[in-house]
């Protein structure tokens, strides 16, 4: 089978097969179709991988269907052991996984290693622990007894975006722990970490067909998955446009269950009584880490008017400079964005920001080099209705505006079609409570941003989607409830 050898962090030589992973074997697409993968830090060709077509998707589904018959009956302790075994292997090969992600997406190796890969391991271990704790309820009914069972859904699919490999683990871990089998479609611009993961799944001896991993284009392989009548659930993370299409396709085919994790336009709200140092640290991180290509990015920063000028000046000082370059090197503090399309989209929003009359504090320009590097950018006094305050940029672009009262900021925070995440900075517990109740958002952090943990549900409201990854809520998403009712007959 074709493979590619690349040099990762610490000079590590990494070889991964580049085929479709079906039945624990790598094979090319039946048609021989391939996708070229680019290194966005250099603009150069990195690898060529197989591109699954509809017939390959069907092959993966048939393999998964066969695997499901036995996997759903595998003892929960064995499922736990296999997930923990996979976690051990991911931990062992963390350098390779993080290097591949850095090479193909431009994310800093250090961020991938410490956050993306680490959270992937945590999710595998967290859901391994749930495998034997999928209890139902015992219910009282007149003249009888009822109980519920949490049962797997069957053959499921996960379609994931390019910005973090950990999202795939948010889906694989609960899917397997609850007895489902899964076809994972990796993103066309970052397929290589998926090829590595496939190797580890085979090495962990997870039975063939329980996880099939296919690379392919969204409108071909992704579309074929969403149309397939034997797939009973799709867990999707990506853009709202594609999410809507998957939902529509489900309605037109077999009404497969769909969960959608879509974008966001997260508000970070800084009150005058907040710990300023702390607020500056998190608000800066919230829009610059991974170049803001984070669905939960804190891209709208609202600051109370009495500290506004001081905050804006400090924020600009701290977030403007970065050392851009090779994401594998420890001295690099800014990687490239994921591809040329992403760069152009962000530059287009810079233009819109200028046109809106907002004040450009810093950045806005492409940085030197062959890769797709863009300066950290911030606009101040951004109008609430400006595109950069309403639309997801998915780039290192902060939109800052002042506010005065509590009611005003609640209205502004909720004035968006999105509702994924929000951050509130204050030392007043009453304000923090009121905002965490009133903000329309799947997640709110107080005096921090992000704080991702396997134990905490992740997902949105409004047009950010529905369904939850992580936490015990994810178990609901990956199971179905069966109610069993007994009529207790009179005894003599
Ligand atoms: P995207 O929607 O273009 O692609 C996501 C995945 O969907 C890819 O694997 C792609 O191949 C596939 N796809 C594309 N067309 C498809 C189709 N017709 N049918 C089925 N699958 C198809 O998104 P992207 O550009 O990869 O990622 C960026 C977007 O994802 C941003 O909007 C961002 O906010 C969002 N995102 C959300 C979260 C979250 O958890 N809420 C996390 C990361 C990214």
CATH of the domain at 311: 3.40.309.10
Residue 483 belongs to some domain of the structure: no
Residues 162 and 131 in one domain: yes
Residue 245 belongs to some domain of the structure: yes
Residues 391 and 311 in one domain: yes
Q: Is the pTM of this model over 0.85?
A: yes
pLDDT tens-digit readout, 261-318: 999 999 999 999 999 999 999 999 999 999 999 999 999 999 999 999 999 999 999 9
Alpha-helical (H) ranges within 178-275 are: 192-203, 223-227, 240-252
Q: For ligand 1, is residue 165 a contact (CB within 6 Å)? A: no
CB–CB of 277/270 below 8 Å? no
Residues 272 and 259 in one domain: no
Calculate mean pLDDT across residues 67-82. 97
Residue 467 belongs to some domain of the structure: no
Confidence of residue 143 (pLDDT cuts 50, 70, 90): confident
Q: In the listed set 247, 263, 279, which residue is the last one of a domain according to the structure?
A: 263
Classify residue 241 by burial, with Cβ atoms within 10 Å: 0-12, 13-18, 19+: exposed
Residues 287 and 161 in one domain: no
**CA dihedral for 140, 141, 142, 144, sign (positive or negative):** negative
Q: Where are the beta strands (DSSP E) in 330-430?
A: 359-362, 377-380, 397-403, 421-425
Residue 395 belongs to some domain of the structure: yes
Residues 253 and 292 in one domain: no
Residues 201 and 287 in one domain: no
CA–CA dist 221, 52 (Å, integer) = 6
The number of folded domains in the chain is: 2
Residues 217 and 275 in one domain: no
Rounded to the nearest angstrom, the gap between the alpha carbon of residue 268 and the centroid of all alpha carbons in its chain is 20
Q: Which of 3, 22, 26, 28 is nearest to 13 (CA)?
A: 3
- 303 in helix, strand or coil? strand
Confidence of residue 447 (pLDDT cuts 50, 70, 90): very high
Q: In the listed set 243, 263, 283, which residue is the last one of a domain according to the structure?
A: 263
Residue 485 belongs to some domain of the structure: no
Residue 462 belongs to some domain of the structure: no
Residues 144 and 280 in one domain: no
At 106, which CATH number? 3.40.605.10
pLDDT > 90? residue 490? no
pLDDT > 90? residue 492? no
CA–CA dist 301, 431 (Å, integer) = 17
CB–CB of 249/399 below 8 Å? no
Percentage with pLDDT > 90 across the chain: 98
Residues 107 and 238 in one domain: yes
pLDDT given for residue 364 in this prediction: 97
Residue-range definition of the domain harbouring residue 49? 3-263
Q: For ligand 1, is residue 219 a contact (CB within 6 Å)? A: yes
Helices then strands, counting H and E runs in the chain, come out as 16, 22
Calculate mean pLDDT across residues 324-330. 98
Calculate mean pLDDT across residues 360-372. 97
Which position has the token pair 């009453």?
Answer: 430
Residue 474 belongs to some domain of the structure: no
Pocket test for ligand 1, best of 164, 168, 238, 338 (most atoms within 8 A of CB): 238
CA–CA dist 130, 123 (Å, integer) = 11
Residue 67 belongs to some domain of the structure: yes
Pocket test for ligand 1, best of 37, 158, 218, 298 (most atoms within 8 A of CB): 218
Q: How far apart are the first and last CA of the chain?
A: 70
Question: Which ligand 1 atom minimizes the distance to the CA of 261?
Answer: 41
CB–CB of 266/421 below 8 Å? yes
Residues 316 and 446 in one domain: yes
- Count of all residues that appear for the chain in the document: 492
Rounded to the nearest angstrom, the distance between the alpha carbon of 128 and the centre of ligand 1 is 27
Classify residue 107 by burial, with Cβ atoms within 10 Å: 0-12, 13-18, 19+: buried
Which position has the token pair 């609430």?
Answer: 384
Residues 283 and 349 in one domain: yes
Q: What share of the chain is helix, strand, coil (3-state, %, to 5)?
A: 40, 25, 35
pLDDT > 80? residue 1? no
Q: Would you name the residues annotated as active-site residues?
A: 261, 295
Residues 225 and 372 in one domain: no
């Amino acid at each position: 089978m074709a493979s590619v050898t690349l040099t990762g962090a610490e000079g590590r030589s990494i070889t991964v097969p580049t085929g479709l992973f079906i039945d624990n074997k790598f094979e090319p697409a039946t048609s021989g179709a391939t996708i070229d993968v680019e290194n966005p830090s250099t603009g150069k060709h990195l690898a060529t991988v197989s591109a699954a077509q509809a017939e390959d998707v069907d092959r993966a589904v048939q393999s998964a269907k066969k695997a499901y018959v036995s996997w759903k009956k595998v003892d929960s302790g064995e499922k736990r052991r296999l997930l923990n075994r996979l976690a051990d292997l991911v931990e062992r090969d963390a350098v390779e996984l993080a290097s591949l992600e850095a090479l193909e997406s431009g994310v800093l190796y250090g961020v991938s290693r410490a956050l993306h890969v680490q959270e992937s391991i945590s999710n595998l271990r967290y859901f391994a622990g749930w495998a034997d704790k999928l209890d139902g309820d015992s219910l009282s009914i007149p003249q009888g007894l009822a109980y519920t069972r949490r049962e797997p859904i069957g053959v499921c699919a996960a379609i994931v975006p390019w910005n973090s490999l950990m999202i795939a683990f948010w889906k694989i871990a609960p899917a397997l722990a609850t007895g489902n089998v899964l076809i994972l479609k990796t993103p066309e611009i970052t397929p290589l970490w998926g090829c590595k993961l496939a190797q580890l799944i085979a090495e962990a001896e997870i039975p063939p067909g329980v996880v099939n991993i296919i690379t392919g284009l969204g409108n071909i392989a992704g579309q074929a998955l969403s149309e397939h009548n034997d797939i009973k659930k799709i867990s999707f993370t990506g853009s709202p446009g594609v999410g809507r299409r998957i939902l529509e396709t489900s309605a037109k085919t077999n009404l497969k269950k769909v969960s959608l994790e879509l974008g966001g336009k997260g508000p970070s709200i800084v009150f005058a009584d907040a710990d300023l140092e702390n607020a500056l640290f998190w608000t800066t991180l919230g829009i610059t880490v991974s170049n803001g290509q984070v669905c939960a990015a804190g891209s709208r920063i609202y600051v109370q008017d009495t500290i506004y000028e001081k905050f804006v000046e400090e924020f600009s000082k701290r977030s403007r400079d970065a050392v851009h370059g090779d994401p594998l090197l420890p001295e690099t503090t800014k990687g490239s964005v994921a591809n040329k399309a992403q760069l152009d989209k962000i530059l287009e929003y810079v233009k819109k920001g200028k046109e809106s009359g907002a004040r450009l504090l810093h950045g806005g320009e492409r940085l030197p080099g062959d890769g797709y590097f863009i300066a950290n950018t911030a606009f101040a006094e951004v109008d609430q209705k400006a595109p950069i305050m309403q639309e997801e940029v998915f780039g290192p672009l902060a939109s800052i505006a002042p506010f005065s009262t509590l009611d005003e900021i609640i209205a502004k925070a909720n004035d968006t079609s999105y509702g994924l995440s929000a951050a509130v900075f204050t030392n007043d517990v009453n304000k923090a409570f009121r905002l965490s109740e009133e903000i329309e958002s799947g997640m709110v952090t107080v005096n921090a941003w992000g704080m991702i943990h396997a134990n905490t549900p992740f997902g949105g409201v409004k047009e950010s989607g529905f369904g939850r990854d992580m936490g015990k809520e994810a178990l609901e998403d990956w199971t179905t409830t069966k109610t069993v009712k007994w009529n207790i007959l009179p005894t003599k």
